[in-house]
């Protein structure tokens, strides 16, 4: 049975992070659903529109093993400010799921209380939104069921770390070899 992941896209998301991570997760045979935070057609930070599969409000949390948040601005702030997303992620996480965020999106996980006491990384300059959590300089971090990435350049590694957190890390090397990712 394939593990099910939802990636939530908010207006102003970082397109490269969303597309690269979604591509890798689907190559790894995860059942990935793209959900718009508020709408099905979501415009990214660089005016690229992505048509999501659905909207967050239409999803049932019990179906998902992980929630992935791409960064970008103002997308990350839109994610952070969503009480609906906070409730959704808390339910998935409380059920044993993974919460993953890249670039500025760890600010959402911080507001939701999921990064307290965790080792995380994030795009530099958003420390004021991380509740005192100091990001490392590493490209990715995994601490239990919290996975974080620093930015677009970490997208492939970030996707691999999500797979690792979901117990499927052994598949990553073969997929990356086929994509010429070292």
**Mean residue pLDDT across the chain:** 96
When the candidates are 3.40.50.11820, 1.10.40.50, 3.40.50.880, 3.40.640.10, the CATH number that belongs to 4-176 is: 3.40.50.880
Residue 1 pLDDT > 90: no
Query: Residue 94: helix, strand or coil by DSSP?
Result: helix
Q: Would you state the pLDDT for residue 62?
A: 87
Rounded to whole angstroms, how far apart are CA atoms 160 and 70?
A: 14
Q: Would you state the pLDDT for residue 182?
A: 81
Distance of CA 142 to the CA centre of its chain: 12
Catalytic residue among 59, 103, 142, 155: 103
What are the sequence ranges of the domains in the chain? 4-176
Report the share of the chain in percent with pLDDT over 90. 96
Q: What is the 3-state secondary structure of 10-78? A: CCCCCHHHHHHHHHHHHHCCCEEEEEECCCCEEECCCCCEEECCEEHHHCCHHHCCEEEECCCCCHHHH
Rounded mean pLDDT of 120-136? 95
Query: Residue 3: helix, strand or coil by DSSP?
Result: coil
For residue 133, indicate whether it is catalytic: no
Q: Tell me the two tokens of residue 130.
A: 């991380």
Rounded mean pLDDT of 127-146? 95
SS3 of the chain: helix, strand, coil, percent, to 5: 40, 20, 40
Give the single-character DSSP code of 137: S
Rounded mean pLDDT of 10-26? 98
Q: Would you state the pLDDT for residue 61?
A: 86
pLDDT digits (tens, 9 = 90+) for 106-120: 999 999 999 999 999
pLDDT digits (tens, 9 = 90+) for 38-94: 999 999 999 999 999 999 999 998 899 999 999 999 999 999 999 999 999 999 999
């Amino acid at each position: 049975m394939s593990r099910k992941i939802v990636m939530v896209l908010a207006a102003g998301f970082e397109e490269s992070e969303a597309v690269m991570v979604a591509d890798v997760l689907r190559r790894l045979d995860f059942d990935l659903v793209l959900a718009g935070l508020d709408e099905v057609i979501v415009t990214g930070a660089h005016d690229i529109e992505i048509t999501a599969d659905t909207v967050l409000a239409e999803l049932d949390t019990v179906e998902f093993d992980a929630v992935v948040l791409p960064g970008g601005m103002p997308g990350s702030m839109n994610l952070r400010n969503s009480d609906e997303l906070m409730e959704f992620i808390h339910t998935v996480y409380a059920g044993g799921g993974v919460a993953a965020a890249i670039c500025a999106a760890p600010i959402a996980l911080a507001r939701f209380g999921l990064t307290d006491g965790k080792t995380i990384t994030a795009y530099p300059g958003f420390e004021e939104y991380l509740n005192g959590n100091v990001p490392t300089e590493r490209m990715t971090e995994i601490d239990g069921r919290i996975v974080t990435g620093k930015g677009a350049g970490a997208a492939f590694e970030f996707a691999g770390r999500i797979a690792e957190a979901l117990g499927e890390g052994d598949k990553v090397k073969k997929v990356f070899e086929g994509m010429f990712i070292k």
